[in-house]
Structure 1
Amino acid sequence: MLLFVYGDDGFRTQEKVSQLKSAFREKHDPSGLNTVVFPSADGKLIVGDVIQAVTTMPFLSKHRMVIIRDLIDSVKKEDLALWESGLSRTPDSTIVILWESKAVDAIEKKPLFKTLKEQAQVHTYPFPALAGTSLTTWIADRCKSKGSAIESGALRALIERVGADLWLMSHEIDKLVAYANGATITETMVTQLVQANFEGKIFDLVDALSRKDIRATVRMLEEERFAGSDDYYLMSMFTRQIRLLLGARSVLDQNPRADKNVIATELDVHPFVASKLVTQAKNFSLTQLLDAHAQLFEFDRAMKNGGMSADLAVDLVTISLLKK
């Protein structure tokens, strides 16, 4: 049996593999002697070693499990036929999990995926990165599975503060559910318990920049640096936000009536995020945003060439945006 667990949502792929592994251990392999994971400590995927593990009969059990990480994406062209032939001979006694971390579309285009998918006993579990309503649904379902409902306002506040990082989101949900103790999670609870990361605070920073509020801008940057945020990370968030604003501004220039739902669809972001983008994009012209993006590109190149430090780049970008 071949199980494909793949996608760029690292949290959900790992969770699925852990669930499959735990269920297998409980039912077939409490000793752990029939569970093998590749690559091993040396980080290599050697065809002969993996296929031998796949075709070996289980020890004192009816089944064995072989977990192979990032094979589909990394297989060499000259080894493709060997992998196809070897994995096509997977016995009924072996459950093979092909665990891939690249985007769903990228994996499904790979020759090895296409070949192996045609086998008789194949199950696929694609996990694309969540956004929009799929992210909202996942959060609501996650809260429910943990024992609490969540208000729509709380959902919005949670996404604004945490973003689409499911590792962090899962941690915050656990904290909120424990605090709610069976009650519905409210927006007040989120405000009190969930500290916004910089991805969530970037909207507040851009608001301050658009108002030319120097004091608020400097305060927020100082708080992030004091909290340990790396300037390379701050720079990447500036770049991401300017690109999103560019996209929103472009859509609005073409269609002044575009609302948050149109922006959300065009930019593949959550409607809550799109709503903020619509408001903020109206505070900048397309020319201003294009100039800011060009400057970010130049600073990024200077940083990579060693001609500018990350903290200086962040400061210069901030000053430039305050002047626009």
Structure 2
Amino acid sequence: MDSPTVLVLYGTDEFAIDQTIRKLIVAMGDPSIAEMNISHLDGHNLNMNDLNTAANAIPFLSERRLVTLANPHSAYKGAKELKKLSAFIETLPPTTTLVLAEYLDSPANKNKSFYEWLQKLAKAQGGKVTVQTQEFNMPGRRDLPGWIIRETKKQAEAYKKHIKIDPAAAARLAEMVGENTRIAVQEIGKLLEYVDFERNVTVEDVEKVSIVSAQQDVFTLVDALGNKNGRKAQNVLQQLVQNEDPFSLWGMVIRQFRLLVQAREVMDGGGGQDDIARELHAHPFVVGKLMNQASGFDLKSLEEIYHRLLELDEGIKTGQATIELALDMLVVELCG
């Protein structure tokens, strides 16, 4: 290529964004060589010298370098900072692919600050470099069963199989995963292995194989954390770590506290179960359990825990901590 590539990946579907970055990494070729030509940085604690060094380095035994910057909006939020970013992009060498990944809590068109920032960034380039943008949003509650049906077909076809998931089974799985596409993808894979890629997936399969028990254990873990019962929290956590995929487990813990924050906000505003169900797009059974659990926390405590989880999540993404270590730290901090 005779010009650098700049991609802005953004939206609420963190898993889809990460998958897109993963494809770019795979396209780099031999992992042992690619590793020396890939840099991952985070806008929350960005050192500009590190970004300059990573982006302007000469590729080693490769045609290109790949640099990813998570949370660029945090590092370049103001007008002056955005101007610096635009100028930096204009000076990128043609051998560099720069990926700006912004993980949002709500779609960009409902996130005024980021949406305006993105528009200004796209318009600020002088023509030497084209900034390509792509939005990834998690499917809503109504759309998730259809998404699960399509994803099941996609995974089956990768093995040259033509099996499906029954609509009722897709709806049941959607209730379980709660709009979390990362967990949904993993659960679909488990279900396909369970049926040995030989028949359609049924509701009974979902009930037997999927994450109902893990979700209950996460509820138990959060209860123990709320009660500052460190021994019980460690015991439950140990079982979860042994039996569940780390990324699925981490996603469930973050999601649980996010739902608790949202439920507590509605409760503090005088809302009840129906209000929470509408706000969270959650199943009534889940809402009832959320209300009981949220009653054990005040809103400030939940917000502090959730923000701490996001800090730990950044550490995981940048390789500073493992998921197991992050969960251990959470238990120690809340129960110590």
What TM bracket, shorter-length normalisation?
0.5 to 0.7
Q: In structure 2, how many angstroms separate the alpha carbons of the residues matched to 1:232 and 1:16? A: 22
Runs of 5+ unmatched residues, structure 2: 157-162, 219-232, 241-251, 305-336
> Where does residue 46 of structure 1 map in the other structure?
47
Cα distance, 1:98 vs. partner?
0.8
Q: In structure 2, how many angstroms separate the alpha carbons of the residues matched to 1:140 and 1:303? A: 34
Structure 1 residue matching 2:27: 3-state secondary structure: helix
* Aligned-partner residue type, residue 184 of structure 2: M
Q: 1:109 and 2:109 equivalent? A: no
Structure 2 counterparts to residues 168-247 of structure 1, below 5 A: 168-182=183-197, 183-196=199-212, 243=266, 246=271
Q: In structure 2, how many angstroms separate the alpha carbons of the residues matched to 1:188 and 1:138? A: 20
> Where does residue 12 of structure 1 map in the other structure?
16
Q: 1:166 and 2:181 equivalent? A: yes
Cα distance, 1:146 vs. partner?
1.4
Q: In structure 1, how many angstroms separate the alpha carbons of the residues matched to 2:131 and 2:253? A: 45
What's the TM-score once normalised by structure 1's chain length? 0.60
Q: In structure 2, how many angstroms separate the alpha carbons of the residues matched to 1:125 and 1:303? A: 32
Superposed CA offset, 1:175-209 (max 9, x none) = 1000122211001111121241586899xxxxxxx
> Where does residue 98 of structure 2 map in the other structure?
96
Q: 2:27 aligns with which of 17, 23, 29?
A: 23
What's the TM-score once normalised by structure 2's chain length? 0.58
Q: In structure 2, how many angstroms separate the alpha carbons of the residues matched to 1:175 and 1:63? A: 36
Q: In structure 2, how many angstroms separate the alpha carbons of the residues matched to 1:178 and 1:231? A: 25
Q: In structure 2, how many angstroms separate the alpha carbons of the residues matched to 1:227 and 1:71? A: 36
Q: In structure 1, how many angstroms separate the alpha carbons of the residues matched to 2:176 and 2:152? A: 16
* Aligned length in residues: 253
Q: 1:134 aligns with which of 130, 137, 143?
A: 143
Cα distance, 1:154 vs. partner?
0.5
Superposed CA offset, 1:65-94 (max 9, x none) = 211122223336354332221112223322
Based on CA coordinates, which of the two structures has the bigger radius of gyration?
1
Q: 1:269 aligns with which of 281, 291, 302?
A: 281
- Whether the aligned pair in 2 keeps the contact of 1:63 and 1:94 (CA below 8 Å) is yes
> Where does residue 75 of structure 1 map in the other structure?
76
Runs of 5+ unmatched residues, structure 1: 203-223, 252-262, 282-291, 306-324
Aligned identity (percent) is 18
Cα distance, 1:46 vs. partner?
2.2
Q: In structure 2, how many angstroms separate the alpha carbons of the residues matched to 1:226 and 1:236? A: 23
- Residues 30 and 110 from structure 1, CA distance in 2 versus in 1: closer, same or farther, beyond 3 angstroms? farther
* Aligned-partner residue type, residue 187 of structure 1: V
